[in-house]
Structure 1
Amino acid sequence: MDEIDVYLRRRSEIYTWMARNSIAMVVLEDTEGRRDPAVRYFSGHPSDALLILTITGHCVLCPWDENLAYQKAQVDVVVPYTDFGRHPVAAIKGIAEQVGAPHRSRIEIPAVTPYPVFLRYVEALPEYDVLCRETGVHTEIARMRSIKDETEIALLEKACAITNDIMDRIEDQVRSGKIATELDVALLIEKEARKAGAEGTSFETLAAGPSRSWGIHAFPAYTSGAFPAQGLSILDFGIKFEGYSSDVTMTFASGPLTTAQEKQITLVEKAYKAALEIYKPGNFTRDASLKVDEIFRKAKKTMPHGLGHGIGLEPHEGPAVRNREDNDWVFEPGMAVTLEPGLYDPKHGGCRLENSILITEQGNRPLTRSRIVRLG
């Protein structure tokens, strides 16, 4: 599918939703403090811009970097932010007038807009009904983004292919002794990602040797401490390729291990295999989490985090895979989701196994090949 056609198709779906819900104009904002990858999703512009979609089918980008917009954005009109003194409220008011949004029509602004800023919109736009709500267009966009189209799947596959190559290189260098510290492995990931054409890592790499692997997310993210060393070491990282993120976690088990550590590995691998059988169309995502919780509970263990999450333009997005009563997500073909059971013990360290999984019509297809690596 042509790149322009991809964005037109996505916007067409939102225009239909706007007509059905009587919304004249939708405002999406990707700025410092209020990041929203939906701007990139609908326009191709990577960051720092306002995107305005109108019920009449106009797509207007108001970028911070005008030159970048002319290179990257697939929109109808680019209006420089400087035309409005780099002020978002002034920009929305000006663009509403330029596109001829009817007075008394509804304009929906981002759900995460702070209340004082919302009041400024209301004051500046008395001719319009300004909406800022939790369950509006942004809920619809989240639903759309949870199911990847062919273009997105191809980009995710590329991000995951780079990730797989890096994992292989890491294991080789760990076994050869070239990687000796958390810092070594974190820098290797950054270097290899960039060499492979990625934008970088999708989040700060988390590398924790045995003395720190008991944390779900190590703090600091990595140090000059030994990695790996005797016991359980955890490495959690992702690669961003043209905006799309992978997410994996490897555990390095360096013997001799304690009985408790061996039990952690066995339980995590058992939980992973059981949950993968539930990662199929039509199943509730919470059922996969319930299955893992059941396995751990029988062993008198508890997993202190969700089982997985969607990946895409964000390293963490919908759907959620967790055991909560308010979680009504159902696996659907096209969803890209992580599977990451883990157990953590202050004395024995942590063990987590995470891969990026694509839900297909037939079931699922792992996009990454993370594993628990046994050393000695």
Structure 2
Amino acid sequence: MKNYTKDELKKIYAARREKLFAFMKENKITAAVFEDTEGRRDLSVRYFTGHPSDALWICSSDGKNALVPWDENLAKERSVDVKIVPYNEYDRKNIEAVREILKSFKKNDPRLKVEVSPATPYPLFLKYVDALQGWDVLCRENSVHDFVLSLRACKDEYEIECTKEAARVGDLIIEKIENGIDDGSIKTEMDVSLLIERELRLNGCERNGFDTLAAGSSRSFAIHAFPGYTSAPWPGKGLSILDFGVVFEGYTSDTTLTVVKDATDEQKKLVELVEKAAKEALPYYKNGEKIKMAGLVADEVFKKAKREMPHTLGHGIGLEIHEFPRVSAKQTDDLVFKPGMIVTLEPGLYDSKLGGVRLENDVLVTENGNEVITHSKIIYR
């Protein structure tokens, strides 16, 4: 991956914030509060500041902004070109921090509007209303926070590079998994899950993108096996699924492979249908194409075989494992793929007797088509 200089990163983060400030000005929103705290995680704080966890970020439409981190030392190390105000200055009380930061912005507009997240609990919203005298506190749908989610859907250069690095590490891990199956070092769901944990950290990644889902043939009938992994055999005779992601600089990959071992003809038919759905839907992941079309194509493949996929065809990935947009035949006609979107393509079928199969890769939508940036596969043994 390219090594970005501090000045290059400043420009990247500044460009993101400028889009936010422009939206706020256009919609006459004076200020906004983003909260990444336990129980109310909003990774938009990291998106705009670079700080990885536990902080408030308060900004105004004219560009004033302040990061209030729980860990001041970490913020100084990781944040990019923002004013840092220690949480301790406000007795570690979020509402007091928001009130005082807004005062420091020195706004004289008679119609001051501040937006808090639509996910804010009602009792907390009322506390904001009481504390922010002189401000019209907004907590609503179609908010600045919703705009940010749509903004995050199209990745910039740095985000694409980080996601590609996560994908590269994921591919290395898949290769090690194949070797482990062949040499017998991987025998259980636990073996493969702990291998992923070890290898991602050896290769500079932060963590798993989500709890690894390793389901041997006795548990692969579930879309998301519960628990995520056990000491059961993996891969087993029939169909075994592995769904995992790795995170590099905040950005996650998301891949699913299926191991086919001594499968019956009926099980092989499920695999063939999933591979066909993936192949036929991929060309629709392109700039300007209605997102629903990819879902319709995959659904039609299964419908002809009198099968039905019980989940959507894909979803955006980024700082979170599930981001906008969802890829589904039920999407509206106005929702289209755009350059910079990184979206999963993950057709799957599940049968209580035969087991399950899913094939998932991450697809970058480009100006002229797409690029599959992960290389998950169906593994035959």
The two structures share one fold, judged by TM-score above 0.5: yes
Cα distance in 2 for partners of 1:298, 1:205 equals 32
Q: Could you tell me which residue of structure 2 aligns to residue 54 of structure 1?
A: 60
Is it true that 1:108 corresponds to 2:115 in the alignment? yes
Contact 2:364 2:371 in 1 (8 A): yes
Is it true that 1:354 corresponds to 2:363 in the alignment? no
* Matched letter for residue 49 of structure 1: A
* Matched letter for residue 328 of structure 2: R
Cα distance in 1 for partners of 2:12, 2:285 equals 27
Q: Could you tell me which residue of structure 2 aligns to residue 308 of structure 1?
A: 314
Cα distance in 1 for partners of 2:211, 2:351 equals 23
Q: Could you tell me which residue of structure 2 aligns to residue 133 of structure 1?
A: 140
Contact 1:25 1:101 in 2 (8 A): no
Cα distance in 1 for partners of 2:122, 2:336 equals 33
Cα distance in 2 for partners of 1:286, 1:320 equals 9
Contact 1:60 1:75 in 2 (8 A): no
TM, length-normalised to structure 2? 0.96
Q: Equivalent residue of 1:28, what SS?
A: strand
Q: Could you tell me which residue of structure 2 aligns to residue 82 of structure 1?
A: 88
Matching residue within 130, 135, 141 for 1:123: 130
Is it true that 1:7 corresponds to 2:19 in the alignment? no
Deviation at 1:56, TM superposition (A): 2.0
Unaligned runs of 5+ residues in structure 2 are none
Matching residue within 225, 242, 245 for 1:238: 245
Which deviates the most, 228-237 or 102-111? 102-111
* Matched letter for residue 271 of structure 1: A
Deviation at 1:76, TM superposition (A): 3.3
Is it true that 1:202 corresponds to 2:209 in the alignment? yes
Q: Could you tell me which residue of structure 2 aligns to residue 158 of structure 1?
A: 165
Q: Using a 3 Å threshold, how does the CA distance of structure 1 residues 48 and 19 change in structure 2: closer, same or farther? A: same
Is it true that 1:28 corresponds to 2:34 in the alignment? yes
Cα distance in 2 for partners of 1:212, 1:325 equals 31
Which deviates the most, 33-42 or 315-324? 315-324
Matching residue within 251, 255, 276 for 1:248: 255
Q: Could you tell me which residue of structure 2 aligns to residue 363 of structure 1?
A: 369
Contact 1:58 1:76 in 2 (8 A): no
Which deviates the most, 181-190 or 90-99? 90-99
Q: Could you tell me which residue of structure 1 aligns to residue 156 of structure 2?
A: 149
Q: Equivalent residue of 1:129, what SS?
A: strand
* Matched letter for residue 316 of structure 1: H
Matching residue within 276, 280, 285 for 2:282: 276
* Matched letter for residue 270 of structure 2: Q
Matching residue within 87, 98, 108 for 1:92: 98
Q: Equivalent residue of 2:23, what SS?
A: helix
Matching residue within 167, 172, 177 for 2:179: 172
Unaligned runs of 5+ residues in structure 1 are none
Q: Could you tell me which residue of structure 1 aligns to residue 343 of structure 2?
A: 337
* Matched letter for residue 8 of structure 1: A
* Matched letter for residue 323 of structure 2: E
Residues paired across the two proteins, number? 374
* Matched letter for residue 136 of structure 1: S
* Matched letter for residue 51 of structure 1: W
Cα distance in 2 for partners of 1:279, 1:56 equals 37
- RMSD over aligned Cα, in angstroms? 1.1
Please list the CA deviations of residues 46-65 of structure 1 after superposition, one character each: whole Å capped at 9, or x if unmatched: 01000011122112000111
Which deviates the most, 233-242 or 323-332? 323-332
Please list the CA deviations of residues 274-318 of structure 1 after superposition, one character each: whole Å capped at 9, or x if unmatched: 100111111111111111111111111011001000011111101
Cα distance in 1 for partners of 2:374, 2:102 equals 45
Cα distance in 1 for partners of 2:177, 2:237 equals 17
Q: Equivalent residue of 1:78, what SS?
A: coil
Q: Could you tell me which residue of structure 1 aligns to residue 191 of structure 2?
A: 184
Contact 1:61 1:75 in 2 (8 A): no
Cα distance in 2 for partners of 1:369, 1:76 equals 37
Deviation at 1:326, TM superposition (A): 4.7
Contact 1:105 1:128 in 2 (8 A): yes
* Matched letter for residue 135 of structure 2: Y
Which deviates the most, 355-364 or 319-328? 319-328
Is it true that 1:70 corresponds to 2:69 in the alignment? no
TM, length-normalised to structure 1? 0.97
Please list the CA deviations of residues 210-238 of structure 1 after superposition, one character each: whole Å capped at 9, or x if unmatched: 00000000100000000001100000000
